[in-house]
Amino acid sequence: MNTNKEPAEQANPLSPKCPALFIAAPGSNHGKTTITAALARYHVEQGRKVRVFKSGPDFLDPMILERACGQPVHQLDLWMTGEAECRRLLHEAALEADLILIEGVMGLFDGDPCSADIAELFSVPVLAVIDASGAAQTVGAIAYGLANYRPGLLFAGVLANNVGSPHHSDLIKQGMPPGLEYFGGISRDSLFKLPERHLGLVQAEEVLDLDSRMSAAATAIAATGLANLPEAVEFTAPGHQAPPRLLSGVRIGVARDTAFSFIYAAHLDLLRNMGATLAFFSPLADAALPDVDSIYLPGGYPELYLQTLQDNLAMKVSLQTHFQQGKPIYAECGGMLYLLESLTDKTGNRGDMAGLLPGHAVMQTRLKGLGFQSAPMPGGVLRSHTFHYSQVESPLTPAAFGQRELNTSAGEAIYQLNKLTASYLHCYFPSNPAAAAHLFLP
């Protein structure tokens, strides 16, 4: 590990070097997000600039990670984002950062492509976070499997999570095979734990003591071998072209509050880079839309705010007027639910929504949609994913359906009504900038 504050020399801007770690685990629920946030916060507190990335489609973890590092958090995914965009994002981060952290998704080798594919492609060493609850020396066997399952994968070492005592940590260390570095353990402490709900972690804005939780976890990091910077990694520049200015002069209203918050940072960057002016508004708190040409209603948790959304009649009238004027509206998942006639939560409470789309939605107790899909939108195909617990019944005939990567079942319906486009699909705009721009063109 590099003990200096400054990253390795960056004499060549085409191939800057920056200390980097890929935080992975044997599976979900080992504490990857908590540890990544703790690492980011610790190094920020040492005066370093930290850039954090999240592999795979995720909205909630990046909210936590952004609070931890104070910088935007972007997605890295070889299918959804694409290798060239991943390379560009990492290269730009390496030019300015003292440390790059990448949080994996699920287990290190889960999926195709998987987290290990990203780590190996960009030569970023893997830190394995392993939940040690109910185990001791066996943690070493799990770590050995992760380190040796794929030849060529760089492996930095192991951090044990949820360690019960110093003696427990000693037992874990005893079980580490030769050549595997054990950075230490993070104690089992409820102060570190991040609260969850049905779609994952609770949004950062809703965790009132989030900063104190992250600072406490950062203090724990200080007592491990991860207090020092990792070795520097070289990040090469990709061939990159600026997106076309297809949205010059277009004003886009973007819903953003605790009910509608599932927005990729890359989306806002791209819309602005294509010339759009963004105006943020809250369907929960605002009485009217801003003066805009188009509307973007992202996903989120409208089911948690049924009464507030139902009672904000002025906002619903403003949306209806925008729709009746033939102006574009693009709605994803929770944004689509808000445009229906009604939404019912899991306890049976029903709220009247905006009523732009015929149909009703009901929250379910089990997951109803999951996975990557190609989305044939009006202006072209966008790569996307779906993840939802609700079910929609609508008399409207879908204009198209998403196409699953494995073609195991029918994809998500894509609805079009005049200039309104809505679906459960969360599209990744940079996968096809022209198709994304088409959704908002007046």
Q: Would you call 84 helix, strand, or coil by DSSP?
A: helix
Distance (Å, rounded) from C-alpha 327 to C-alpha 319?
A: 10
User: Is 86 assigned a catalytic role?
Assistant: no
User: Whole-angstrom Cα distance, residue 130 to residue 157?
Assistant: 11
Angle at 358 between CA 342 and CA 409, to 5 degrees: 95
At residue 280, what are phi and psi to the nearest 5 degrees? -90, 145
Instruction: From the candidates 69, 86, 333, 427, give the one annotated as an active-site residue.
Output: 333
Beta bridge partners of 413: 401
Q: What is the DSSP letter of 229?
A: B
- 273: tokens are 């880079």
Instruction: Provide the H-helix boundaries in 233-333.
Output: 265-273, 306-311, 313-324
Q: How many angstroms separate the CA atoms of 34 and 75, rounded?
A: 17
Rg for the chain, CA atoms, rounded: 23
Say how far apart CA 101 and CA 18 lie, in whole Å. Answer: 10
Q: What DSSP line would sit under 317-381, residue for residue?
A: HHHHHHHHTT--EEEETHHHHHHSSEEE-TTS-EEE---SSS-EEEE-SS--EEEEEEEEETTEE
H-helix or E-strand containing 291?
none
- Cα separation of 304 and 309, whole Å? 10
Per-residue tokens: 374: 């190609």
| Distance from chain centroid for Cα 99 | 19
Instruction: Please report the sign of the dihedral spanned by the C-alpha atoms of residue 68, residue 69, residue 70, residue 73.
Output: negative
Question: Which secondary-structure segment (H or E) carries 420?
Answer: strand 420-423
Phi, psi of 268 (to 5 degrees): -65, -40
| Contact in structure between 116 and 125 (CB atoms under 8 Å) | no
CB 330 within 8 A of CB 297: yes
Which residues are the active-site residues?
Answer: 333
